[in-house]
Amino acid sequence: MPQSLWSRTRRLLPAAAVAVLAITGTVAGVTAASASPAPRPATTFTTDHQLCYTVTSAGPGITIPPAGAVTLKNQFSSFKPAISTPPVIHCNPVEKILPTGQVVPITNPAAHVLCFAITPPKTQPAPLVTVTNQFGSAKLQPGQPNLLCLPTWKSLKAPPNKTKPQPPGLSHYTCYPVTVVSGAYKPPPVMLKDEFGGPTSVQVNPVPQELCLPTQKTVVTPVGTKIYKIVPGAMHLLCFPVSQTPIKTPVFDQNQFTGPGTAIGIGRTFALCVPSTKKIG
């Protein structure tokens, strides 16, 4: 195992991957006169934190659309990527507990993410951005897009066998490696809890590695064109390397590329991706 999971992924792709922390105020809930929070409508989701792991193996059943069939459109550009298989990153929605005791809960436990390495057909726009979240704010320089992350059904024991192609309330993401130009993030030690275990105390590296943009995905097939739009209110994700947490392997993933359920081997913890706001310039 190399010193950095990020450097390992960069050897697999043109660069590395994934995203970061929720903005204060994204946890919905209205306080009534009795001081009891009003129940959240079942169909309302915020953007959850995602705890991401490297993929060590992938079973059969993965079908990638042919070259030129997929178009990705985000705030930076629109392009047709080459998509590599097998997948390289798997992410779980994760509960985060701050040192103050504040809990940032999971609002959409079905919404997992599976990421594939991508290569753009030519150099894509990657403007300077300012990204802000609970860890702070910094000006970042993105590199070239290197990951496509799909909303994914996941089960620990058997194929999900869902009838819908993806879980609700989660967008596709295109991820870009980033370098810090100015400013800094100051993440405290946090506790994380996902389907694999926890709460586990982790250290978050203050240097982000990937910025993931909500993305519209269009797929052209012999039977027609399908458009997967950005979920309203979707936030960006900024991804920070983290210390190790418990894992459970394998899992079974199902999305538009993996069919009714593909066995996915889970490796080391890769990053904590935090909901964030982004401003170009």
List Cα–Cα distances, 212 to 35, 129, 165, 172, 175, in angstroms.
36, 12, 21, 9, 4
Higher-confidence residue: 23 or 153? 153
Instruction: Write the pLDDT tens digit of every residue in 119-175.
Output: 999 999 999 999 999 999 999 999 999 999 999 999 999 999 999 889 999 999 999
Whole-Å CA distances, 52 to 16, 88, 138, 181: 13, 10, 22, 25
pLDDT of residue 68 exceeding 70: yes
For residue 94, the model assigns a pLDDT of: 98
Domain spans, the chain? 5-21+48-280
User: Residue 207 half-sphere exposure, CB side, CA atoms within 13 Å?
Assistant: 7
Which has more confidence, 4 or 31?
4
Q: What share of the chain is helix, strand, coil (3-state, %, to 5)?
A: 5, 45, 50
Position 51 pLDDT exceeds 50: yes
**Reported pTM:** 0.85
Helix (H) / strand (E) containing 226:
strand 224-228
List, in sequence order, the alpha helices (H) in the chain. Answer: 5-12
